[in-house]
Structure 1
Amino acid sequence: MDSSNLAELLRAVAEGKTAPEDAARSILQEPFRRTIRAQSSGEGTADDPGVCLDNHRSLRTGMGEVVFGQGKSRRQMEAAVAGLGESGEPVLVTRLDDEDGTWLLERFPGGEHWPAAKLFISKSPSKVTGSLAGPFGADKASWPNHGEIVVVTAGSSDIPVALEAVGTLRFLGLEPGLVPDVGVAGIHRLEPHLPALSAARLLIVAAGMEGALASVLAGLVSAPLIAVPTSVGYGASFGGLSALLAMLNACAPGVAVVNIDNGFGAAALAARLLSI
């Protein structure tokens, strides 16, 4: 059940078509009914159990459940996308490899797969203009560098994490900008982008290695900043742990930090902050 289904139910109560008691019962029982249905209809086995869906999440939090693709079987992903999509709303799947994304596109031909961001949507949301990738195609020179939210990367190797954030933001109806490859090894590259970065309401900064870019930017602009440490770097970066600790210890104030490689989490937090 999403907000449109709830509004329809309440209209039926207002028009006398549904008794208030029946509506209350439906609202209370729906989450459990959907969970039981998902478990019983998934035909899961001990080796491949079904999925339990949370169809009320959008009512509670404003954002529906998103399917984390990594580690799931194709059977589980298909059941999750089909079940969450019963309300007619689009479904987002993250962390997909190319083969699974192509397979999902065959199962849900109205969807869209963005391999660069490892994302899939079951159908284009009405609030998104154009494709999930939007203007962020192969021609990096044409990527917009401005928006209410601007995603910034220290290096080109951080771009996949940044694109996960970009795709999630577009799925949520936002039009972010993207400024790639402006890390501290060549900090002068930031200068042409400073007007757009200063005009943004919020920045998402993805950086690996020593993760210094987040602290640098927080000292240059007034917007709050969400730092995303990436697992990019040599051995002593410890798979992103070095960048994570550096960001947590940022000298400049106004920096919040999400988990390593969590572009999705940064985008979800950014969308919530802008909705306040």
Structure 2
Amino acid sequence: MDEKTLTRLLEQVKGGKVSVDAAVGQLKDLPFAELGYATLDTHRSLRFGFPEVVLGEPKTVEQLLGIVGKLMEVKQPVLVTRLQQDKADALRKAFPKGEYHAVARIFHVKQGKPKAGKVAVVTAGTSDIPVAEEAALTAEAMGATVNRVYDVGVAGIHRLLKRREEIQSAHAAVVVAGMEGALASAVGGLVGIPVVAVPTSVGYGANFGGVSALLAMVNSCASNVATMNIDNGFGGGFYAALISRTKGQR
């Protein structure tokens, strides 16, 4: 239940259209919902503006069906990340309103109309797109308008310079890069908006599975750069959307 839904319910009680007992029934699961294997934070949408997000990878199909079913029941949007194809097929069959994005491994059911601002998602290379799409789709699920600026890494920095104005026009940017992770500093130095850097595990041996990019981004000399964990596109997209939402309200 979000703030708009709660306000409407209280107005209906005040106007005599909904009984107190019926309202209590709707509010019973407001703080959380006990499923035995999960305790859903159904209050998060009200206090945070977006509901709890479900990490799909370690959960069983049965657990996911129960969790998504409860979120649908309380009329909250659904976002399941890191979802394997077989689990996605089961969710799509049970909840045909949902959409599975295979590249990002995200299952999304739209409910309500969350609002946020503009987010640019930038990648160093094509190989970084799966993580970037996780960021982009997360930000879109939160109501952001996303501009994708892909394959503009520092090995051909003229590509980035040509699209600087596009990135600058956003309220926040997510920069996704593997290898040496230099793109985050390059973007940070070119634009005057918050930059959320996401290192990826893309790269050769001394990349150490993304550690080299992570350390480069953490040590960025561009003061508008903050860094997420390796391959955490979800975190980058979520944080950038939050920033854009605040900016969009001003």
TM-score computed with the length of structure 1 as normaliser: 0.80
- Alignment counterpart, residue 273 of structure 1, candidates 215, 220, 243: 243
Alignment root-mean-square deviation, CA: 2.4
- Change in Cα spacing, 1:24 to 1:98, as seen in structure 2 (3 Å) is closer
- Mapped partners of 2:29, 2:113: distance in 1: 26
Q: SS of the residue aligned with 1:116?
A: coil
2:226 partner SS: strand
Find the partner of 2:50 among 63, 66, 70.
63
Residue 126 of structure 1 deviates from its aligned partner by 5.1
Distance 2:4 2:185 in 1: 42
* Per-residue deviation, 1:67: 1.0
Query: Which residue of 2 is the match for residue 6 of structure 1?
Result: 6
1:65 match: secondary structure: coil
The residue that corresponds to 1:158 in the other structure is 128
Query: Where do 5+ consecutive residues of structure 1 fail to align?
Result: 40-49, 129-146
- Whether the aligned pair in 2 keeps the contact of 1:127 and 1:173 (CA below 8 Å) is yes
Q: Show the counterpart of 2:104.
A: 117
Letter in 2 for 1:244: L
Q: Aligned letter for 2:66?
A: A
* Separation in structure 1 between the aligned mates of residue 26 and residue 95 of structure 2, nearest angstrom: 29
Which position in structure 2 is the counterpart of 1:183?
A: 153
Gaps of at least 5 residues in structure 2 are: none
| Correspondence list, 1:68-83, <5 A | 68-83=55-70
Higher RCO (Cα < 8 Å, 6 or more apart): 2
The alpha-carbon deviation at position 199 of structure 1 amounts to 2.1
Q: 1:26 to 1:90 in 2, by over 3 A?
A: closer
> Could you tell me how far 1:31 is from its partner in structure 2?
4.3
* Preserved CA contact (<8 Å) 1:51 1:79: no
2:91 to 104, 123, 145: 104
Runs of 4+ in 1 over 4 A off after TM superposition: 16-19, 21-27
How many corresponding residue pairs? 243
Shift of 1:219: 0.8
1:198 alignment partner AA: Q
Q: Deviations over 1:23-67 (max 9, x none)?
A: 78985x5346x533x22xxxxxxxxxx222111111121110111
Range that drifts further, 3-12 or 173-182: 3-12
Q: Distance in 1 between matches of 2:186 and 2:42?
A: 41
Is the Cα contact below 8 Å between 1:2 and 1:55 reproduced in 2?
no
Aligned residue in 1 for 2:33: 35
Partner secondary structure for residue 223 of structure 1: coil
Change (3 A) 1:56 1:182: same
More strand by share: 2
Alpha-carbon distance in 1 for matches of 2:11, 2:179: 55
Paired with 1:6 and 1:66, the residues of 2 have a C-alpha distance of 21
